[in-house]
Each structure stands twice: as C-alpha cells, then as structure tokens.
C-alpha cells in the first residue's frame, strides 16, 4: 500500500506468462491496437496517437516533454511537489526557456498564479501534475486549462497516479498531451507508459525546427509503428504489452465510473478511519487524491521504525515522505487492484498496532467503526 507499484490481478499475472512473440506478428499488432483503443477509453480521448511507450512513467514524461519542447520554447512548469520538479528538469534539458511556478507542497497550483505567470510572456506549454504522488494533492484542471487555451499554450499533464483511478477527461478538459504509468491505478507491472497526443500536439511536433532530441521517444517514429505503417522502431515487449492489455481489459469490464467510485469509497473510508483514530491528513478535503493518501506523522513517532514494523510484522508496505515532506507524512496508496475495502481495514488495524509499539495510543475502535460505516454504506 505504498505509492506503487501495486498488487496486480491474477489475470494480469497470467498474461505475463504469454508466449514471447515478435513485434511484427499480426496477432501481436492486433493486441497493440487494442491497447490503443482501451487507452483512448481510459484517457477519455479520441486522440489517434494514443498508446504506451516502453519504460516506466518517466519515459512517458520524457516523451511528452522532448516532443513538445525545443530550444528556446517557453514553458511554464507548475511545481508543488517532487514530480513537477522532474518535468522542470527535463524541460531545461531540452534547452527550453523554463518559468517555474512554485507552489506550496500539499496544496494545488492556484489558477490566479497561473494567470499572472502567463501574462509575463508567450508560452508554448503549461506543464503540470494532475495527481501529485509526493503530496497526495489532486489538481483541479478546468480553470487552468481554460487559461492555457485562451493564452494559446498547450497543456502537458502528468496522470501517473490518476489514470484509471480518478476522473480524467483528456478531450473535455482540453489536455494536449498526457502520460501515465502501468504500475499504479492501471494495475499492471511497471514498464509501460501510456501516452496520448492531440492532433494539435502532433502538428506542433511535425512543425518543429529541430529533430526531437530523443530518438527512442520520438512520437513521430513511434507512431509509424503504432499506426498503419507498421515500421519497425524497437523490439516491443509482448510480455509487457499483454500484461498491460489484460489490466486495461479489467478496467473496461469494471467500467470507469464504477472504478472511480470504488477508489473514492475506499479513500473516504481510510480518511474517516484515520481521523477517527485521532490522526490527521495533510491535504484539505477538497484537494485530496483518492489514490494516494498522505497522513501526518504524529509528534514523537519515528517514521522509519514504524514503517519497518509494518513491513516486518504485517508484510505491509507504505511510503514515507519525499523531499520537503520527508519524515512528516506517510503515503498510503489505494490504487487499481489494491484499492480494496479489506486493505483499508487491515491498514488501520496494523497502523494502530505499530503506533502502540511506540507508546502512541490511537482510538482504533472509533476509526474502524467510522471506516466500516463508509464501506457498508
């Protein structure tokens, strides 16, 4: 129950044992097409260029940044956690002219600050994180995407901890490019990075003055393999793609709305459980991310000792804080196949034992009763 990778469904394990076949085998190409269609459904987009790049979420990030930005392009990057800063670093490596909009960790980016920053220049791209895994903040997007649209800038969105777990409407929200990973809410192993590029984004790539600096992640070249031309680009991993495909089929069978509802309910149960126990969440209720919950570490409790105890005694992994939040929060993931009511109850009970071990008393009965009420409601 950390920030990922999460447990995977037995059917996804089964898919990992599929025979290894060639990347141009007709039946494999059908599977790649199906991955594209199911990713369109999951991203809620009609973008033709939608598939999965090889590599983890960071490869999706690099694909989006390296294709949209070239030397001298102006990019506004919103940073209110660890991963926004990674986009900034990548944009700077493209020799883009980067303006960083710094926000407080644990809060979303403020649309007014975006408006103010946009008024200072002509930006090609606004980059931001939908679900900041380091802080547990879910970024509201409608205001910022309207501001970017009115400005003429493209939105580059990290959906690593939101795709398949919380509502994400790429077309309706006017997102130009987005990327994610396979190992969180999608429910597959790490190793694939779903990406989607709008027609507008593809036109911008086609009109670049310089070739994309990453050959491997050049979206034009990748699309010649994903699209009808079927030009060899790299030895696509059938093992990873069949696992991703099975995970996407599971999402399709569950239904997106039902899936979001499941994630939300388990998150709500966890929050009332935590608060019932007398602990506090980092993030204000309206910006809490259902898939990644940040719990404030109570005074006097040793972070590493507690997480070590959970792992040793209960085989339960939770995440520690990153960057500015190191030692201040625990990060509890409820994503994909692992977003289960029994995991909520198990976590609260195990946490109570781990706190007691350090002499910290929590009101576990109140917490469990409150959680059960949500889960049974």
Ligand X SMILES: Cc1ncc(COP(=O)(O)O)c(C=O)c1O
CA triplet 84, 221, 70: central angle to 5 degrees?
Answer: 45
Compute the distance between CA of residue 174 and CA of residue 156 in angstroms, rounded to an integer. 10
Residue closer to ligand X by CB (options 4, 273) is 4
Q: For residue 361, give both structure tokens.
A: 């008393």
Stretch that binds ligand X, among 68-76, 100-108, 154-162, 297-305 (CB under 6 A): 154-162
Residue closer to ligand X by CB (options 158, 352) is 158
- For residues 330 and 318, is the Cβ–Cβ distance under 8 A? yes
Rounded least distance, CB 367 to ligand X, Å:
27
- For residues 275 and 123, is the Cβ–Cβ distance under 8 A? no
Residues listed for the chain: 377
Among 12, 129, 155, 217, binds ligand X (CB under 6 A): 129
Rounded least distance, CB 3 to ligand X, Å:
6
> Which single residue brings its beta carbon nearest to ligand X?
57
Stretch that binds ligand X, among 15-23, 66-74, 155-163, 310-318 (CB under 6 A): 155-163
Whether a cis peptide bond, with omega within 30° of 0, leads into 141 is no
Among 50, 53, 133, 343, binds ligand X (CB under 6 A): 133
Residue closer to ligand X by CB (options 197, 309) is 197
Residue closer to ligand X by CB (options 111, 190) is 190
**Could you tell me whether strands 192-197 and 177-179 are parallel, antiparallel, or unpaired per DSSP bridges?**
antiparallel
Q: Which of residues 69-88 bind ligand X (CB under 6 A)?
A: 83
Compute the distance between CA of residue 117 and CA of residue 147 in angstroms, rounded to an integer. 11
Verify binding: residue 57, ligand X, rule CB under 6 A. yes
Compute the distance between CA of residue 199 and CA of residue 105 in angstroms, rounded to an integer. 33
CA 89 to chain centre: 18
Residue closer to ligand X by CB (options 4, 367) is 4
Q: How many residues bind ligand X (CB under 6 A)?
A: 14
Rounded least distance, CB 55 to ligand X, Å:
7
Rounded least distance, CB 173 to ligand X, Å:
17
Stretch that binds ligand X, among 71-79, 153-161, 303-311, 347-355 (CB under 6 A): 153-161
Stretch that binds ligand X, among 57-65, 166-174, 272-280, 303-311 (CB under 6 A): 57-65
Whether a cis peptide bond, with omega within 30° of 0, leads into 5 is yes
Residue closer to ligand X by CB (options 80, 259) is 80
Burial level of 95, CB count in 10 A (0-12/13-18/19+)?
middle
Residue closer to ligand X by CB (options 67, 161) is 161
Residue with tokens 């089964």: 14
**Could you tell me whether strands 177-179 and 154-158 are parallel, antiparallel, or unpaired per DSSP bridges?**
parallel
Q: Which of residues 158-197 bind ligand X (CB under 6 A)?
A: 158, 160-161, 181, 190
Stretch that binds ligand X, among 51-59, 253-261, 310-318, 346-354 (CB under 6 A): 51-59
DSSP 187: -
Rounded least distance, CB 61 to ligand X, Å:
6
85: Cβ contacts below 8 Å, ≥ 6 apart: 79
Verify binding: residue 109, ligand X, rule CB under 6 A. no
Verify binding: residue 106, ligand X, rule CB under 6 A. no
Residue closer to ligand X by CB (options 81, 367) is 81
Q: For residue 160, give both structure tokens.
A: 């690593």
Rounded least distance, CB 167 to ligand X, Å:
17
Query: Can you name the residues that pair with 128 across neighbouring β-strands?
Result: 157
368: Cβ contacts below 8 Å, ≥ 6 apart: 273, 276, 345, 348, 349
Enumerate the H helices of 69-215 as residue ranges: 82-93, 111-118, 142-151, 199-206
Q: Catalog residues that contact ligand X under the rule CB under 6 A.
A: 3-4, 56-58, 61, 83, 129, 133, 158, 160-161, 181, 190
């Amino acid at each position: 129950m950390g920030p990922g990778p999460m447990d995977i469904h037995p059917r996804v394990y089964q898919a990992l044992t599929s025979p290894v076949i060639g990347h141009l085998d007709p039946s494999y190409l059908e599977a790649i097409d199906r991955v594209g269609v199911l990713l369109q459904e999951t991203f809620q987009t009609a973008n033709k260029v939608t598939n999965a790049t090889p590599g983890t979420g960071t490869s999706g990030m690099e694909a989006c940044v390296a294709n949209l930005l070239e030397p001298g392009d102006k990019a506004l990057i919103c940073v209110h956690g660890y991963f926004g800063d990674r986009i900034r670093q990548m944009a700077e490596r493209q020799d883009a002219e980067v303006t960083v909009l710094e926000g407080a960790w644990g809060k979303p980016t403020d649309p007014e600050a975006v408006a103010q920053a946009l008024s200072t220049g002509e930006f090609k791209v606004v980059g931001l994180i939908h679900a900041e895994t380091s802080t547990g903040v879910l970024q509201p997007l409608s205001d910022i995407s309207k501001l970017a649209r009115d400005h003429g800038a493209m939105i580059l969105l990290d959906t690593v901890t939101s795709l398949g777990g919380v509502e994400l409407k790429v077309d309706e929200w006017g997102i130009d490019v987005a990327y994610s990973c396979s190992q969180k809410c999608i429910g597959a192993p790490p190793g694939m990075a779903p990406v989607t590029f709008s027609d507008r984004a593809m036109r911008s790539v086609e009109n670049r003055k310089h070739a994309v600096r990453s050959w491997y992640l050049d979206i034009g070249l990748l699309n010649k393999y994903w699209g009808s031309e079927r030009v060899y680009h790299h030895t696509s991993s059938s093992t990873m793609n069949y696992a991703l495909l099975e995970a996407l089929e599971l999402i399709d069978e569950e239904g997106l709305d039902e899936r979001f509802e499941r994630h939300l309910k388990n998150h709500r149960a966890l929050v009332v459980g935590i608060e019932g126990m007398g602990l506090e969440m980092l993030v204000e209720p309206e910006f809490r991310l259902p898939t990644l919950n940040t719990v404030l570490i109570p005074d006097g409790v040793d972070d590493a000792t507690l997480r070590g105890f959970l792992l040793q005694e209960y085989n339960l992994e939770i995440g520690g804080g990153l960057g500015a939040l190191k030692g201040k929060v625990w990060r509890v993931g409820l994503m994909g196949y692992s977003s289960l009511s029994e995991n909520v109850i198990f976590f609260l009970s195990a946490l109570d034992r781990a706190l007691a071990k350090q002499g910290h008393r929590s009101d576990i009965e109140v917490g469990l009763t409150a959680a059960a009420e949500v889960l049974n409601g």
